[in-house]
Structure 1
Amino acid sequence: MPNTPILTDSAAITRLAEELHRQPAIAVDLEADSMHCYRDKVCLLQFSTAGRTVLVDPLAVADLEPLKAVLADPQVRKIFHAADYDIRCLHRDFGIEIRGLFDTMVSCQFLGEEKVGLADVLGKHFGVELDKRYQRADWSVRPLTPEMISYAAEDTRHLHRLVALLEGRLEEKGRLAWVAEEFALLEQVRHSEAEGPLFLRAKGAGTLDRRQLAVLEELLQWRDREAQRRDCPLFRVVGNKSLLDLARNTPRSHQGLVAIEGISPRLADRYGKQMLQAIERGLNLPQDQLPVYPRSPRPERDPEADRRLALLKEMRTAKAGALGMDPGILINNTLLELISRNPPRKTADLEGFDGMKNWQREVLGEEIVKTLGKE
């Protein structure tokens, strides 16, 4: 494998940007440190043209301004695999926007590939084996090992020929316009900071009563402070499930802590005092200050809508089977439920449904109306 250069100065990045702008297509990827830091950041960028692969070290040179123009130029195709996270990170960290996207993972989904991870796809089609050991590596560490450099380069090196394969199959199936619409929507995604109580982001919090919810919030706030102090991900302090069980059982002693799954004696020795104090604060919170888990009002039970939904799901299953696609990729349950409660009389009525894409109306519109006409 040829040596892969790593660019660490502004002049080299300017030259790279000029080179990339002369290309019809470039493959792009990034590596971050989300498994190792409290706030993840982009630690490495990979670019592959048809002829070579180059890495950019944003930890060595923070000014990536020269790359903005080419990455925002729709005339230069940007090939990503699973672009959603990358697009959000690039805009958050550097103000970089992506235009001219081609996402090979989305393409695989629309071709009905059973496994759409990059390692699976490259292994299936090209016999390429990616070393998964480095998916969770700490990419903020310098210097990068030769193995890490090789892994990063492999992530983009094969994307050009993968596009050639996938695009041809999409064209044969008449689905290029479908994925083009998906790509245009993906280009608009942005990172957003979550607001409100931390329990809103804790799976299972909605099953707790208000007092338990107060305890959970205190535990989550403590863990967040500790993760910031250590500059590590939240799960490296203590896992969500353990905190949920602590809030549900509210142990009051060291012995009670270690009875909770995931709270080892060592963890209890290290954090027991802080966890017990957090539990105590939640238990002592005045009744009128207890948090309330927000719940969307449930729509009234409508037997007719339920019947329509069942018919729509049957139609979706049959259509997805005929297309060789996952039913959830074809159309999701939320949209089907909305349609079942507001049945369209003609295909044009489907234009009023938020979240329904043009390609979905074209592919499913007549069958949706026909299916609902059978009820």
Structure 2
Amino acid sequence: MGFEFIANISQLELAAKLLEREPLLACDLEADSMHHYKEKVCLVQISSPGASYIIDPLACQDLSILAPIFANPRICKIFHGADYDVRSLHRDFGIEIHNLFDTMIACQFLGEAEFGLAAVLRKRFGVELDKRFQQADWSRRPISGEMLDYAVKDTTLLIPLYEQLKEELGSKGRFAWVQEECELLSRVRSAERRDEPLFLRFKGASKLSPPTLAVLESLLKFRETEAERRDVPPFKVLGNEVLRVLAERKPSTLGELDGITGLSPRLLQRYGVSLLTVIKEGVATPPGQYPEFPHSPRKKRTPANEARLKLLKAWRESKSDKTGLAPGLIANNALLETLADQNPGSENSWVLENLKQWQFSAFGAELATLLAS
């Protein structure tokens, strides 16, 4: 499969001049999140109808020449599962994407049961994607020819896939729906969480007591420091389940560490003494300084609101059956709860404030009538 590998600014400038003339560009990227503490974009793949490029941002560190192309509303940028790509391109290069089309979202709005890229390409083109390098360390150089071939395959079929999906969405009257969802997706950004407690991102932390949270936070800070020192993802230092068990049991001797699942003899030898010190520090946290997981107060609903919510969920299930769309795609629970908690009265303008434009166009009047009755 032919492509041009771009590893210097001169090559990038020539490619950019060609790419800016194209109406459709298929895009993807590869990163190193499985291998380094601070993840980064390691390859950017772009295919036009007639050519494919693999750009090495570790060699061409300034990708600003591509920013006008991604921002150009005349050029449709096609991704599959673009959330991570949108966040990463903006985080690493300040690139904003306008006129984004996500083929995964399109498949969802066509009611496809499987919408992963491998499944979609297998079904529509009979192509099997080789996923051997899905979790490879893309920051390593040189990159093998096999890895480059793998990288470019994800974009070469996105343009014909886009053409198929656009036609099918148009026949169902759902192309504008996908456009709106893609516009919202193009605005997502990576969150800055430098000053917030680490336990807020720890699954299951909301169920732990304040004294246990104090120990967990100490352990998480230790893991974060060690991961940064070794330049590896935190999960490669110690797994979440190990930290949870340590925080709950609060061992104080090496013997009490022995036998904890996931804490191998090698890890015990490397971190045993340090873990006991960290746990001791967490246990010593004064009660007045215990961290607490912020719980949103559960909203009490009136019987009328509960009845409206039940009605809305039944409506959603019925609409899902008729359209072939997943219930959560039609309206998520948060939206239904918001609608149920409002007093609709006789006007339907209140619905517009809560629905996306495509939802209002497709279901707004129906919902207003349903709730007002």
Quickly name the TM-score band, shorter chain normalised: over 0.9
Aligned to 1:151: 150
Instruction: Report the TM-score, using the length of structure 1 for normalisation.
Output: 0.96
AA partner of residue 92 (structure 2): D
Corresponding residue for 1:348?
A: 349
**Does the alignment pair 1:275 with 2:275?**
yes
Moved more, 74-83 or 184-193: 184-193
1:257 paired residue number? 257
Report the equivalent of 2:204: 204
Query: After superposition, what is the alpha-carbon deviation per residue over 1:114-167, rounded to whole angstroms, capped at 9, x for unaligned?
Result: 111111111111111111121111000111111110110001010010001100
Q: CA RMSD in A?
A: 1.3
Displacement of 1:365: 1.7
1:79 aligns with 78
Write the mapping of 1:351-362 to structure 2, written as runs, cut at 5 A: 351-353=352-354, 356-362=355-361
Please tell me whether the aligned partners of residues 347 and 361 of structure 1 are also in contact (alpha carbons under 8 angstroms).
no
CA contact (8 A) 1:198 1:217 kept: yes
Asked if 1:110 corresponds to 2:109, the answer is: yes
* Aligned position for 1:65: 64
Provide the residue aligned with 2:28 in structure 1.
29
- Alignment correspondent of 2:339: 339
Q: Using the aligned pairs only, state the percent identity.
A: 48
Corresponding residue for 2:303? 303
Counterpart secondary structure, 2:26:
strand
2:213 maps to what in 1?
213
Give, in angstroms, the shift of residue 373 of structure 1: 4.1
* 1:234 and 2:211 aligned: no
CA distance in structure 2 between the partners assigned to 1:183 and 1:352 by the alignment: 20
Report the counterpart of residue 166 of structure 2 in structure 1: 167
1:113-124 paired onto structure 2 within 5 Å:
113-124=112-123
In the other structure, the counterpart of 1:49 is: 48
Unaligned runs of 5+ in 1: none
Q: Deviations over 1:68-96 (max 9, x none)?
A: 11111010111111111111111111111
CA distance in 2, matches of 1:165, 1:352: 33
Contact 2:301/2:341 (<8 A) preserved: no
Distance in 2 (alpha carbons) for counterparts of 1:363 and 1:265: 60
Tell me how far apart the structure 1 counterparts of residues 365 and 315 of structure 2 sit (CA, whole Å).
11
Shift of 1:203: 0.8
Q: 2 CA distance for matches of 1:279 and 1:302?
A: 46
- Deviation track 1:312-351 (CA, whole Å, cap 9, x = no partner) reads 1111011011111111111100111111111423332112
- Secondary structure of the corresponding residue to residue 133 of structure 2: helix
| 2-structure distance, mates of 1:309, 1:260 | 45
For the residues of structure 1 that align with 2:38 and 2:192, how far apart are their CA atoms? Answer: 11
Q: 1:15 offset after TM fit, Å? A: 0.7
- Between 1:242-251 and 1:79-88, the stretch displaced more is 242-251
Letter in 1 for 2:114: K
Could you list the runs of 5+ residues in structure 2 that have no partner in the other structure? none
Contact 2:344-2:372 at 8 Å conserved across structures = no
Select between 339-348 and 53-62 the one with higher mean Cα deviation.
339-348
Read off the aligned partner of 1:347 and give its amino acid letter.
N
Q: What's the TM-score once normalised by structure 2's chain length? A: 0.96
Shift of 1:301: 4.3
Q: Which amino acid aligns with 1:50?
A: P
**Number of the residue aligned with 1:101:** 100
Structure-2 change in CA distance of 1:119 and 1:344 (3 Å): same
Please, which moves more after superposition, 340-349 or 136-145? 340-349
